[in-house]
Chain A
Amino acid sequence: MKKIFLVITSILLLCSFRATTNSKIKSGEKLVYTGSYNMSGLMTQLAQVTMSTENVSTSKNNYLHLSCELATYSKWDKFFKIRDIYETYVDPITMKPALYKRSIDEGGYTKKEKYVFKNNTVTSTARKRNYPESVKKFTIKPTSIDAISILYQLRSVDFSKYKAGQTKSYTIVFDEKEIPVTLKYIGKETVNAGNLGKKECYKVSIGAKTDALKGQDKNLIWLTADDKKIPALMKFSIPVGTGQIALSSATGI
């Protein structure tokens, strides 16, 4: 499931083309997706993915809390229960991350990670079940961001100015390292966007220098071709199969 999530986030995240610094992301937004996996040729619904935003204030600053939760449907819980939280606290204007956290519980396997972003340095703290805590400090590119905030940043990209086949390289921080990714704008397509109905979308392909993604133009994301650029559909291909994440409801947009 970790691979699936990496793919999802990669797909979403990696599609960052160059993001502008003016965030259009509002607090109180909630996007609910149905995650399906292709099992022996049949698309089987496995989990619910919820992406939400919320304002968080400390005594000195305001942050936008971007959260992505993954929970298996009750019928799968007895087999393989998944409860994952990926969250980041970003500057509401620049969308630059300050703190990124990941807490996963996948069939009993647990892992907690914390990434503190400070200028071009990231201090990561990881704690796996039955392993001692590990701390790592590494330098990142000034444009590198975490896996969740990039999901939201890509929605500020003006895809209407991109030509089919146009590519863009980028890097995200995931699993205590930077992962280079290449994004390719493919064109426009109409897809089902849950409660939003059928929507014309920007179709973007994601390629990453990681073993988690497989095939060329097989990891795709469709973003509604409007001001909101809501991710309506994501398709992924990983070494163990293929799947998709489809929007079922969007509220607070």
Chain B
Amino acid sequence: MQKIYLILSFVFTLLALVFSIMPMDTIALLPIGLAIAFCLLTIRKSEGNKVKIPKWLLTISVLCSVFVIGKTLLIKDEVVVDQTFEQQKIETKQEAKKELEELEQLENDLE
């Protein structure tokens, strides 16, 4: 049983690391939470010097949680100024104005 817990601790700690590095926001807290839970279970089921690895994994998971929570609280979500998008908006507006003029012209001709 201890081995299974250790494997799960390792897998979830690895996932926690990957999710923390990637911009997964608070979703990373899921593997982190599972990693911490399995690390604690492994430590509880381990005897003597076998707790060294799960303790390391637990430390990594806790550090990941601090990193993710810190990112969430300190880094503000923002939309970058996208020049292509801004240009597209200007062009769309100009195009629409032209289309409205054409529609009005068409209605005039029909009348």
Asked whether B100 is an interface residue with its Cβ less than 8 Å from the other chain, the reply is: yes
Interface pair A78/B27, CB less than 8 Å apart: no
List residues of B whose CB falls within 8 A of some A CB: 23, 25-27, 29-30, 77-80, 82, 85, 88-89, 92-93, 96-97, 99-101, 103-104, 107
Asked whether A173 is an interface residue with its Cβ less than 8 Å from the other chain, the reply is: no
Contact of A40 (CB < 8 Å), options: B27, B85, B89: B27
Residue of B nearest to A47 (CB): B79
Interface pair A78/B103, CB less than 8 Å apart: no
* 10 A-B pairs closest in CB distance: A75-B23, A73-B77, A74-B80, A71-B79, A42-B26, A44-B25, A48-B79, A83-B85, A60-B104, A39-B27
Interface pair A56/B85, CB less than 8 Å apart: no
Measured between alpha carbons, how far is A41 from B103 in the docked complex, in Å?
49
Asked whether A87 is an interface residue with its Cβ less than 8 Å from the other chain, the reply is: yes
How large, as a class, is the contact surface on chain A?
A: 35 or more
Asked whether A17 is an interface residue with its Cβ less than 8 Å from the other chain, the reply is: no
Measured between alpha carbons, how far is A71 from B23 in the docked complex, in Å?
16
Chain A residues within an 8 Å CB radius of B25: 42, 44-45, 75
Asked whether A59 is an interface residue with its Cβ less than 8 Å from the other chain, the reply is: yes
Chain A residues within an 8 Å CB radius of B89: 69, 85
Q: Which of A184-210 contact B (CB under 8 A)?
A: none
Interface pair A58/B23, CB less than 8 Å apart: no
List residues of A whose CB falls within 8 A of some B CB: 34, 39-45, 47-48, 56, 58-61, 63, 65, 69, 71-79, 83, 85, 87, 89, 98-99, 101, 103, 114, 116, 118
Known contacts A58-B104, A75-B25, A116-B103; is-contact A101 B77 (Cβ 8 Å):
no
Interface SS, A side: strand
Name the distance in Å between B12's Cβ and chain A's nearest Cβ. 14
Chain A residues within an 8 Å CB radius of B104: 58-61
Chain A residues within an 8 Å CB radius of B97: 56, 58
Contact of B96 (CB < 8 Å), options: A34, A61, A87: A87
Chain A residues within an 8 Å CB radius of B23: 75-76, 78-79
- 20 new A-B contacts, CB < 8 A, other than A45-B77, A72-B79, A78-B23, are A42-B29, A44-B25, A44-B27, A58-B100, A59-B101, A60-B104, A61-B104, A65-B93, A73-B79, A74-B79, A75-B23, A75-B77, A83-B85, A85-B89, A85-B92, A87-B92, A87-B96, A99-B99, A99-B100, A99-B103
Name the distance in Å between B62's Cβ and chain A's nearest Cβ. 19
Measured between alpha carbons, how far is A91 from B73 in the docked complex, in Å?
44
Measured between alpha carbons, how far is A61 from B23 in the docked complex, in Å?
47
Chain A residues within an 8 Å CB radius of B101: 58-60
Measured between alpha carbons, how far is A41 from B25 in the docked complex, in Å?
13
Chain A residues within an 8 Å CB radius of B88: 83, 85, 103
Chain B residues within an 8 Å CB radius of A41: 30
Measured between alpha carbons, how far is A45 from B78 in the docked complex, in Å?
10
